[in-house]
Amino acid sequence: MTTKARFAVTVLVFAIVGVMLDPHTPLGTAIWGPMPEDGPAPSGPAMALFLGVLLVQAAAFGVGAGLLLFGFPAILRLLRDRARARGVHLALVWSLMSWVPHAAMHETAGPDLGKLLATEYIFHVTLILGAAGIAWSLVRGAQAHPDEPAPARAVAPFTVVAGPGAKPPLRQVRSELSRR
């Protein structure tokens, strides 16, 4: 089985697990506790919209699991530094997989301010720190290789085509600017 196929199977399996962890399911209730009695009870269009959010969160949970198991080599190739690549890898995995437990804790917190505060620190603060770590790693990676242009696919959704002996686009722009 190819890595792409294993990734796809992992995404599907863990997306199903993500749905099963919702606090409205028996497994979710066993993990997160019961829903508050005094909470709102959505119906009609609101219920459909909440189901849509659940499916997006479950898909993110699955993609995060696939990235956890198969994504590190690609991130390492991009960043070329094992420590920064591992940090970015784990921050991306957390930013994808944390939405299922994050939403469950919000839904089951009810009037319990302690649980709400725990949710804020466990998820909100760590997601902010993870995003800052990703930004720092990308900037440090660019500073470590200032003369190398970024891969065209990482910068834009199109490929830069150049003839034999052509300078990479960034170097070409720099040399044209220095002539002026």
Element (DSSP H or E) covering residue 28: helix 26-32
Both structure tokens of 4 = 């792409």
pLDDT of residue 168: 56
Distance CA 140, CA 11 (A): 31
Q: Hey, what amino acid is at 124?
A: H
pTM of the model: 0.76
pLDDT for position 112: 87
Task: Please state, in angstroms and rounded to a whole number, the distance separating the CA atoms of residues 126 and 117.
Answer: 13
Q: Where are the alpha helices (DSSP H) in 21-167?
A: 26-32, 45-70, 72-79, 82-97, 99-109, 113-119, 126-144, 152-155
Mean pLDDT value across residues 5-22: 96
Res. 18: pLDDT tops 70: yes
Q: For the chain, how big is the Rg over CA atoms in Å? A: 22
Can you tell me the mean pLDDT for 52-63? Answer: 97
Task: Identify the DSSP state of 34.
Answer: P
d(CA 35, CA 161): 56
Judge whether residue 98 has pLDDT over 90: yes
Instruction: Find the mean pLDDT for residues 155-168.
Output: 51
Most confident of the ranges 22-36, 55-69, 75-89: 55-69
Question: Tokens at residue 133, please?
Answer: 């770590």
- Write down the residue that tokens 């834009």 correspond to: 156
Number of Cβ atoms within 10 Å of the Cβ of 111: 9
Q: Which of these ranges, 57-61, 102-106, 167-171, has the smallest mean pLDDT? A: 167-171
Asked if residues 96 and 60 have their Cβ atoms less than 8 Å apart, the reply is yes
pLDDT, position 179: 55
Q: What is the residue extent of each domain of the chain?
A: 3-150+165-179
